[in-house]
A and B are shown apart, each in its own frame.
Chain A
């Protein structure tokens, strides 16, 4: 069975400062991991994905995430926040369970506020 824990429901940063959104997961097998962003009144948009290649994954809009198997973490970072980064962010685990189709598990989301 798999689960996803986003450790902070809200994160607030000043514009121009680094962003860190934390995600821990549990998985019985080798999962794929995703980060999605949701702007107000919009659907979720893919930021980046980890698929067992490089452990440091670069995504759109300057975001990146590092897969750390020993820590079962997949934290999302950005060196310098921009006002347009204010949104909700979701960490997602993708795993194939025996005899069934892909199982996707969503974290409960982290709301990022960027202060001027």
Chain B
């Protein structure tokens, strides 16, 4: 039972480079989201999706794009990496948008931008 799978685990980019962080879930969850985690700041929502073909911005969307072409996949694209995007990124999914639906997290991608 894989749950939420994120790749890669680690990535180093130079300023201005682009890349895609992959996220896949095998639980047929409707809701998927991307968070970044920075020391002392908890988790902040970047983008989320409530179903295939539907995405929306979270708290800190600038510099990131997402798409949701299938229920299973929700990639996060960094268009032109900046040092401020150095962080740990988590993908999370839940069955639906219900208040009581807990999030299931991947193990994270640690990104360093030099």
B4 within 8 A of A: yes
Q: Which of A21-50 contact B (CB under 8 A)?
A: 31-32, 34, 36, 41-46, 49
Name which of A65-73, A76-84, A94-102 contacts chain B.
Answer: A94-102
B100 contacts A94, C-beta separation under 8 Å: yes
Pick the residue among B4, B44, B97, B108 that contacts A102 (CB under 8 A): B97
A43 contacts B108, C-beta separation under 8 Å: yes
A104 contacts B108, C-beta separation under 8 Å: no
Q: Is the interface of B mostly helix, strand, loop or mixed?
A: loop
Q: Who on chain A is nearest to B35 by CB?
A: A106
B86 within 8 A of A: no
Chain B residues within an 8 Å CB radius of A94: 99-100
A43 contacts B107, C-beta separation under 8 Å: yes
A49 contacts B105, C-beta separation under 8 Å: no
A63 within 8 A of B: no
Within the assembled complex, what's the spacing in Å between the Cα atoms of A32 and B44? 18
Q: Which residues of B contact A (CB under 8 A)?
A: 4, 40-45, 48, 50, 56, 90, 92, 97-108
Q: Which residues of A contact B (CB under 8 A)?
A: 9, 31-32, 34, 36, 41-46, 49, 51, 90, 94-96, 101-102, 104, 106-109
